[in-house]
Each structure stands twice: as C-alpha cells, then as structure tokens.
Amino acid sequence: MYRFSYAEILDESATLNRERERLALDKAVELLTLAANAEPGSREVMAAVAYLQKLWGFFIADLADANNELPRELRASLASLGLGVIQECDRLISGTGGSIGLLIDINTAIRDGLK
C-alpha cells in the first residue's frame, strides 16, 4: 500500500490547480483569437469577453481569499491586473475602445507563467 505525505498531496493539488488555470487561460486566448478576426460587437467578441470576465472574476475572488498561499504582493498585483482585464472587456462591450490584442498578450503571458 502506498503512503503519501500530506505535503506531497498538497503539492500535487497545487500542480493540478495550476494546470486547470492554464487550460482555462488557453480557452480564453482561443476565444480572443477568434474575436480578433471578427467584427466589433459580434457574437465572437461578446463570447470571448463574457468568458474572460467570468474567468478573471473567479481568479480575483481566489486571490482575495485569505487561504490563498501566494505572497500578498503577488496576489495584489494579479488582482489589479485582473481588474484591468475586466475594464478592458467593459470597453469592448460598450464600444468605447478596448484592445483584443492587449487581452491576448496579457492572458498569454499569465498562462505561460503557469507552466
């Protein structure tokens, strides 16, 4: 029978969570890439923006959780970045600007940092 230490289980859990986050960001980048080739206000743009806002809302809630083990400064920086992403999405929805290319760059960088 195998016996695993609590630390090994936690480490595996953190690795699995990072992989899930990476996959979620993969999906965001995929949707944003489709949106980049579509007309402003199109179904593709709205789908990408809606997904991204939900995803970053989840990330921000997790970063605000007192049980999150990331360093406080990193959590604050990532939450601030997430709020910026949501604001950029709001600009795309309202038609007052916004850059899909910027959103692709940000989410790609975060995703790549999870590897």
Contacts of 40 (CB under 8 A, 6+ apart): 92, 95
Instruction: Spell out the per-residue pLDDT of the chain, length 115, in tens.
Output: 445 444 444 455 778 888 999 999 999 999 999 999 999 999 999 999 999 999 999 999 999 999 898 999 999 999 999 999 999 999 999 989 889 999 999 999 999 998 7
Contact at 8 Å (CB) between 78 and 59? yes
What confidence score (pLDDT) does residue 11 get?
A: 52
What confidence score (pLDDT) does residue 6 get?
A: 40
Q: Where are the domains of the chain?
A: 15-113
Sequence-ordered alpha helix ranges (H) in the chain: 6-36, 43-64, 72-94, 100-113
